[in-house]
Amino acid sequence: MSHGKVAKPEQPKLGPAGLKQNWRNEILSGFLVFLIALPLCLGISLASGFPPSSGIISAIVGGLLVSRISGSYVTINGPAAGLIVVVLGAVQSLGEGDALLGYRYTLAAIAVSSIFQIGLGLFKAGRLSSFFPASVIHGMLAAIGIIIITKQIHIMLGVTPQQGSLLATMAQIPHSLVNFNPEIALIGFLGLTILVIWSLLKNTTLKMIPAPLLVVILGMALGRYFDLEHEHVYLFLPETEFLPHHEQTVGPKFLVTIPGNFIDSFCFPDFSKIVTPEFWGAVLSICLVGSLESLLSAMAVDKLDPYQRHTNLDRDLMAVGTGNLIASMIGGLPMIAEIVRSSANVNNGAKTGWSNFCHGGFLLLFVILFPTLIHRIPLAALAALLVFTGYRLASPKEFAKVMGVGKEQLGLFVITIIGVLATDLLMGVAIGIIAKLILHIIRGVWLKNLFKIYFKIEQQDANTVVIKVLGSAIFSNFLALKKALVALPQGKTLVFDFTDAYLIDHTVMEALHDYMQHYQSQGGHCQQLGKPLEVFSDHALAARIMTPDDRKNKYQGT
């Protein structure tokens, strides 16, 4: 297979010159992203067990500071749904029932984890993201989606579930569906309906209006109509005969609570639990999940960038760590390079990091000038946003997408989901990785090949470099080859020879595909050589293994 050269468009200027060149695009995109970010920041904060302003603090620091020092071009930094589970878990385990103390202890855990994030960037650990199999990562995110839905659907229905385990909370969903608070549930369901309709719309003009903004505006209008600012008892549609008429209570507890002065939202961490194992468990979870999700989001956004620029992952990790350190010192959630807002940023025509800066600036202006508007937002509207976000993470499409790569990928995906739901995020990911290693051993990968890759790089002539893979190239041994590929000079013809490759897994196939695309965008040329290998599905990047005859004649376990 041959991969031809790809034309590279003219790059936008960076720094102040980039703002001068593209200020219209950057301000417009920053404003549109701000409209999406505001409700998401509030919802993610509340779902994480933090005050609503915490997510806004994080996004402001991410926009105004991290955008100026990061190694990315069009990503938007802020809190993400993927971290809800680990942050909420930290608040509950460290606070032991005291939400405020749990919040302050968790801020301390975020501060310490951010120092580790900075260290990971300094030691160039950005490439470690390739160690995690794609199916395991998707399984982790799908499990997070299921957990978010389980927690937020009760809030969307206006019901407070009994405290208990995740499975206990899940088991209470039918009870909440039967005993919902009609006015609150109406706000939630109408918001969810808007999000579903907007996701199916083909009209690009209508889609320019952010769906989260519509959900919030409708929620505020209904909240005012239902007089949620004053506690009272009501009967829903009392004139109708076919509905059961139970008394329900509504009031300010169903609205977002935020201080009138934004400075009053600041809160400082409490490090008094730093010697406990629960504290360090929280640090490890926040650092690992936050770093991994940020790296994966940055790489995904790179694929959307029309200028084919690639993020400096190590620098980006240091920048996000720095932002997290500052945000945690004043009460903010941990931030990442967030994929949904970043995708919207690219679609809005942003060209540089100044759109991220503008989005942070608009958030700061809004919370200073209009804090009372935030108080009018119903919690059910924000819960609808999160239920929809959770559905997107764990939708049937995600299962079908993984199944398309191969049945073994679906198996790992499901194993990881079950592992996360039954234990926790870190343990669930570990279970998925161990399952993947066992699968490779069953397929004949030698133990010494699990963590060590064998390859040769030879200069065939002045313009041609041959990369010959020997034995197995899998997620757990790919780092050495990845490092060698990054060091190759630009503008050459690279020949990937898989003649003596025993097994190449999906994670490596995907990484090589991305590398070839990037290399060609820089003016190079790539080819693949070797006999056809047996593939595990029709997917272009499915795992592949040496044919039985070649295995018998060639493979010696190296």
Alpha-carbon span 126 to 129, nearest angstrom: 6
Q: In 48-78, which ranges are continuous DSSP H helix?
A: 53-61, 67-69
Tokens representing 529 are: 């050589």
Count CA atoms within 13 Å of residue 349 on its CB side: 11
Instruction: Encode pLDDT of 317-351 as tens digits.
Output: 999 999 999 999 999 999 999 988 999 999 899 99
- Residue 151 maps to a domain: no
Note whether 63 and 363 are within 8 A (CB).
yes
Q: Decide if pLDDT at 47 tops 50.
A: yes
- Nearest by Cα to 90 from 318, 333, 327, 322: 333
Return the pLDDT at 551.
56
Neighbours of 444 (CB within 10 A): 15
pTM of the model: 0.89
Q: What is the DSSP string of 201-212?
A: ---HHHHTS-HH
Mark whether 241 and 213 lie in a shared domain.
yes
Burial 337-368 (b: 16+ CB within 10 A, else e): bbbbbbbbbbebbbbbbbbbbbbbbbbbebbe
Residue 405: strand, helix, or coil: helix
Which residue do the tokens 């056809």 mark?
A: 532
For the chain, the domain total comes to 3
Which residue do the tokens 């679609």 mark?
A: 347
Alpha-carbon span 356 to 14, nearest angstrom: 13
- Residue 488 maps to a domain: yes
Q: Decide if pLDDT at 46 tops 60.
A: yes
DSSP state of 11: P
The CATH number of residue 512's host domain is: 3.30.750.24
The sign of the dihedral angle between the CA atoms of 286, 288, 289, 294 is positive
Return the pLDDT at 61.
98
Q: Decide if pLDDT at 244 tops 80.
A: no
Give the mean pLDDT of 469-491: 93
Mark whether 514 and 370 lie in a shared domain.
no
Give the mean pLDDT of 198-219: 91
Alpha-carbon span 375 to 256, nearest angstrom: 5
Q: Which 3-state string (H, E, C) describes 538-558? A: CCCCCCEECCHHHHHHCCCCC
* Phi (first) and psi of residue 493, to 5 degrees: -100, 120
Mark whether 307 and 207 lie in a shared domain.
yes
Mark whether 71 and 114 lie in a shared domain.
yes
Alpha-carbon span 52 to 294, nearest angstrom: 22
Return the pLDDT at 521.
85
- Residue 357 maps to a domain: yes
Give the mean pLDDT of 258-270: 94
Instruction: Encode pLDDT of 431-455 as tens digits.
Output: 999 999 999 999 999 999 999 999 9
Alpha-carbon span 31 to 43, nearest angstrom: 19
- Residue 2 maps to a domain: no
Give the mean pLDDT of 115-131: 89
Give the mean pLDDT of 137-145: 93
Give the mean pLDDT of 102-129: 94
Return the pLDDT at 243.
60
Mark whether 405 and 503 lie in a shared domain.
no
Distances (CA, A) of 94 to 99, 102, 209, 279, 287: 9, 5, 40, 7, 17
What percentage of the chain exceeds 90 in pLDDT? 76
Mark whether 90 and 221 lie in a shared domain.
yes
Which of 386, 411, 432 is at the close of a domain? 386
Tokens representing 315 are: 């620098």
Q: Decide if pLDDT at 164 tops 90.
A: no
**Residue 150 CB burial class (10 angstroms; 0-12, 13-18, ≥19):** buried
Which of 386, 407, 427 is at the close of a domain? 386
Mark whether 371 and 466 lie in a shared domain.
no
- Residue 52 maps to a domain: yes
- Residue 537 maps to a domain: yes
- Residue 391 maps to a domain: no
Return the pLDDT at 3.
52
Q: Decide if pLDDT at 92 tops 90.
A: yes
- Residue 335 maps to a domain: yes
Residue 315: strand, helix, or coil: helix
Mark whether 430 and 346 lie in a shared domain.
no
Give the mean pLDDT of 71-77: 93
Q: What angle separates helix 134-157 from helix 396-405, to the nearest 10 degrees? A: 170
Alpha-carbon span 242 to 465, nearest angstrom: 77
Q: Decide if pLDDT at 557 tops 50.
A: no
Mark whether 104 and 233 lie in a shared domain.
yes
Mark whether 108 and 252 lie in a shared domain.
yes
Helix (H) or strand (E) holding 467: strand 464-473
- Nearest by Cα to 62 from 49, 52, 72: 72
Give the mean pLDDT of 198-215: 90
DSSP state of 390: H
Alpha-carbon span 457 to 112, nearest angstrom: 41
Return the pLDDT at 303.
83
Q: What is the DSSP string of 263-275?
A: GGG------TTTT
Return the pLDDT at 556.
46
Give the mean pLDDT of 18-38: 93
Sort strands 454-461 and 232-234 into parallel, antiparallel or unpaired.
unpaired
**More confident: 383 or 529:** 383
Average pLDDT over the chain, rounded to an integer? 91
Q: What is the DSSP string of 154-204?
A: HHHHT--PPS--HHHHHHTHHHHHHS--HHHHHHHHHHHHHHHHHHH---H
Mark whether 216 and 267 lie in a shared domain.
yes
Compute CA 100 distance to the chain's CA centroid, rounded to the nearest angstrom: 26
Domain span at residue 463?
Answer: 447-553
What percentage of the chain exceeds 70 in pLDDT? 95
Measured at the alpha carbon of residue 541, what is the angle toward residues 312 and 519, in degrees to the nearest 5?
A: 35
Q: Decide if pLDDT at 393 tops 90.
A: yes
Return the pLDDT at 287.
96
Neighbours of 417 (CB within 10 A): 24
Give the mean pLDDT of 273-292: 96
Q: Decide if pLDDT at 101 tops 60.
A: yes
Mark whether 426 and 335 lie in a shared domain.
no
Give the mean pLDDT of 83-92: 96
